[in-house]
Amino acid sequence: MKLVKHLLDTKGRNVVSIAPDASVFDAIKLMADQVIGSLVVMADDQLLGIVTERDYARKVILKGRSSESTRVAEIMTGEVLTTSSAQTVNECMELMTEKRIRHLPVVDDNRVIGMISIGDLVQAIITDQQQEIEQLEQYISS
């Protein structure tokens, strides 16, 4: 079974973060520039929260707030669900499905070392299944 560590080894460990006092406009611009759907909110190396495109849509756009005057700290989710690099892809998939979240920071030794998305997990599961099918086909044909 594939671990989060293996997933990060393949996809990379780049973590894009933003400060809590940054404007929501800056957060959305950073997400667009990086082609990602969430940012971890950090002060120094401490994880304070997570802000997503969904937070923007529900807490800024739908409430008629200004993205330039609203601070990230006002709309972020402060109680962040995280995973470790030792958890399996399937465990993360179950957690994300149950909690209806799409992004999960990876934290080891109280340090954010990566970020995984539901898309990363789906891709890892599909790849594993394709490899298993190929192995079974080889076994059958030998």
| Residue 102, pLDDT score | 94
Taking each helix axis from N to C terminus, what angle separates 89-99 and 4-11, rounded to the nearest 10 degrees? 90
Of 23, 17, 18, 38, residue with least CA distance to 102: 38
Distances (CA, A) of 15 to 79, 104, 135: 18, 11, 35
Q: Are 86 and 106 in contact (CB under 8 A)?
A: no
Q: Are 116 and 125 in contact (CB under 8 A)?
A: no
pTM over the 0.75 mark: yes
Residues of the chain with pLDDT under 50: none
| Residue 1, pLDDT score | 67
Task: Please state, rounded to an integer, the average pLDDT across all residues of the chain.
Answer: 94
Percentage of the chain beyond pLDDT 70 is 99
The token pair at 95 is 């957690």
| Residue 3, pLDDT score | 94
Residue with tokens 């929501």: 24
How many angstroms separate the first and last alpha carbons of the chain?
Answer: 25
| Residue 139, pLDDT score | 83
